[in-house]
């Protein structure tokens, strides 16, 4: 089904200036012309139709482990590159649930998910406290960058409190958390690689220390919960836990930052929707779902075919790679009427911003809660907020496969 005038995966990243400013021109074209598109250069299929994306995500027999992908699948196979020199390799450091299949995936994910969901279910007051403290810090400013002052620090501080990071370590923890996210950037500078290595090693050592401490003296936090589950027989090692705790920071911080940042930007550029929310605060949950659908923080996720199969009428062979365009699926007119309209009261809008199936985002309840608390609190604190320069184009970050703002300057 390949067609020469269709974009490759590389053009479907914000490194392409056209995609960066308007990803949907390319995604709509791809969905119309070739919804199951074989990109021979990247060695992967790209899926843009909602039905195909939802179907392959829900198929729990699909693989995720990049080692199972054919050689031609250069992007998943890059994940198998040796770690950069200086990054400490330890027992369990290759156990990320994002890149593993059953039985290891379920063995590690199940206890972590159980503990995390239980914590999130009771952490609304904690999120509200973090948000209020953050708002207090810059309340008097006439102009500020929403990303820097609010959207970046809120998720880091929330996860720190959930994990049980000591107050005296918060400054370092924030710095390391920003450092490990650099692992997502394939085009980082040598200085950024160094920062990533230093941060990952420091976090690993700190998590190890915290686990030893909580094993002896449990407290009211996620790391203590995990120590209890381990003692009761949850079959995951310390190294696997350390590695996957770091995965929560890599997978969760920037994405939640972008959910909050994209949400604030959408409301500032859609005054009628903000007025709707203010008139009916009960719309906040559907507003957050619409932000996730309309401006999804993650562009794509991937799977590897575990057997010869057919997707959307297109034959796919075992070990071939599939990229599901979550952004493309979330604007498919077959599923979402008038898909390019931002409508916070939209009904029945089952977006795929968190992926699906066995790898459905483990942090989705937390991300939703943070946005549901942060957005109303933010707009209540700044009732007359406006963009600092309403004529300027939004400054989208150029990190491949993620969508969020580099900065968002506003006036109070």
Instruction: Return residues touching ligand HEM (CB under 6 A).
Output: 57, 97-98, 109, 159, 247-248, 251-252, 255-256, 259, 297-298, 301, 326, 353-357, 359-363, 366-367
Between residues 66 and 140, which has the closer beta carbon with respect to ligand HEM? 66
Residue placing its CB nearer to ligand HEM in the complex, 251 or 328: 251
Decide whether 298 or 388 has the Cβ nearer to ligand HEM: 298
Contacts within 8 Å (CB) and 24+ apart, 272-279: 273/342, 273/343, 273/344, 274/379, 276/344, 276/345, 277/344, 277/376, 277/379, 278/379
- For the CB of residue 108, give the shortest distance to ligand HEM in the complex, in Å: 9
**Structure token digits, residue 233:** 């027989």
Distance CA 178, CA 159 (A): 13
* CB nearer ligand HEM, residue 28 or residue 295: 295
CA–CA gap between residue 218 and residue 226 (Å, rounded)? 10
Strand order in the sheet with 143-145: 143-145, 409-411, 386-387
Helices H / strands E in the chain, number of each: 16, 11
32 vs 120: CA distance, rounded Å: 40
Is the bond preceding residue 103 a cis peptide, omega within 30 degrees? yes
Residue 307 to residue 14: CA distance in whole angstroms: 32
Q: Which two tokens stand for residue 254?
A: 């920037």
| HSE-CB for 403 with a 13 A CA cutoff | 28
Q: For the CB of residue 311, give the shortest distance to ligand HEM in the complex, in Å.
A: 15
- Looking at the Cβ atoms of 277 and 366, the one nearer to ligand HEM is 366
Number of residues written out for the chain: 412
Measured from the CB of residue 411, what is the shortest distance to ligand HEM in angstroms?
A: 27
3-state helix, strand, coil in the chain (%, to 5): 55, 10, 35
Minimal distance, residue 285 CB to ligand HEM, in Å: 14
Q: Which is nearer to ligand HEM, 33 or 330 (CB)?
A: 330
> What are the C-alpha distances in Å from 5 to residues 10, 27, 40, 169?
14, 13, 13, 52
Name residues whose C-beta falls within 8 Å of residue 140's C-beta, 6 or more positions apart in sequence: none
> Cβ closer to ligand HEM: 111 or 297?
297
User: Are 29 and 6 within 8 A, CB to CB?
Assistant: yes
Min CB(359)–ligand HEM separation in Å = 3
| Angle of the 153-163 helix axis to the 124-138 helix axis, nearest 10 | 140
Alpha carbon distance 336, 353 (integer Å): 14
Residue 110 or 201 having the CB closest to ligand HEM: 110
- Give the nearer residue to ligand HEM in terms of CB position, either 36 or 298: 298
Cβ 95 to ligand HEM shortest distance, Å? 12
Is the separation of the CB atoms in 49 and 60 below 8 Å? Answer: no
Region of residue 45 (phi > 0: left; psi between -120 and 50: alpha; otherwise: beta): beta
The least distance separating ligand HEM from the CB of residue 390, rounded to whole angstroms, comes to 26
Nearest distance from C-beta of residue 323 to ligand HEM, angstroms: 11
Instruction: Please measure the distance between the N-terminal and C-terminal CA atoms of the chain and give it in whole angstroms.
Output: 52
Report, in Å, the least distance between residue 84 CB and ligand HEM. 21
Taking the least distance from each CB to ligand HEM, the nearer of 7 and 263 is 263
By beta-carbon proximity to ligand HEM, the closer residue of 277 and 362 is: 362
Q: Kindly calculate the radius of gyration of the chain based on its CA atoms and give it in whole angstroms.
A: 21
């Amino acid at each position: 089904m390949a067609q020469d005038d269709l974009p490759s995966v590389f053009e479907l990243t914000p490194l392409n200036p056209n995609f960066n400013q308007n990803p949907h021109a390319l995604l709509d074209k791809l969905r119309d012309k070739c919804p199951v598109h074989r990109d021979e250069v990247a060695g992967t299929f790209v899926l843009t139709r909602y039905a195909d994306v939802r179907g392959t995500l829900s198929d729990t027999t699909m693989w995720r482990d990049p080692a199972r992908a054919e050689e031609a699948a250069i992007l998943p196979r890059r994940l198998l590159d040796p770690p950069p020199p200086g990054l400490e390799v330890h027992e369990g450091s290759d156990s990320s649930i994002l890149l593993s299949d059953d039985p290891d995936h379920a063995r590690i994910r199940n206890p972590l998910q159980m503990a995390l969901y239980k914590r999130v279910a009771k952490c609304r007051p904690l999120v509200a406290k973090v948000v209020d403290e953050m708002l207090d810090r810059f309340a008097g400013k006439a102009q500020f960058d929403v990303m820097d002052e609010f959207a970046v620090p809120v998720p880091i501080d929330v996860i720190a409190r959930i994990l049980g990071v000591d107050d005296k370590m918060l400054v370092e923890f924030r710095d390391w958390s920003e450092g490990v996210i650099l692992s997502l950037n394939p085009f980082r500078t040598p200085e950024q690689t160094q920062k990533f290595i230093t941060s990952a090693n420091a976090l690993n050592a700190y998590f190890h220390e915290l686990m030893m401490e909580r094993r002896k003296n449990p407290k009211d936090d996620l790391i203590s919960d995990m120590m209890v589950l381990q003692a009761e027989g949850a079959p995951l090692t310390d190294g696997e836990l350390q590695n996957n705790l770091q995965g929560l920071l890599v997978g969760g911080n920037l994405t939640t930052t972008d959910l909050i940042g994209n949400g604030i930007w959408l409301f500032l550029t859609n005054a009628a929707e903000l007025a709707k929310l203010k008139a009916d605060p009960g719309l906040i949950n559907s507003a957050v779902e619409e932000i996730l659908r309309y401006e999804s923080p993650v562009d794509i996720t991937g799977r590897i075919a575990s057997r010869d199969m057919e997707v959307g009428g297109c034959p796919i062979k075992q070990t071939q790679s599939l990229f599901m365009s979550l952004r493309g699926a979330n604007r498919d007119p077959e599923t979402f009427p008038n898909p390019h309209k931002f409508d916070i009261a939209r009904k029945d809008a089952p977006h795929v911003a968190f992926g699906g199936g066995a790898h459905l985002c483990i942090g989705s309840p937390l991300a939703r809660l943070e946005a549901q608390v942060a957005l109303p609190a933010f707009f209540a604190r700044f009732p007359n907020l406006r963009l600092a320069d309403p004529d300027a184009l939004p400054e989208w970050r150029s990190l491949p496969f993620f969508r969020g703002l580099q900065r968002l300057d506003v006036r109070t």
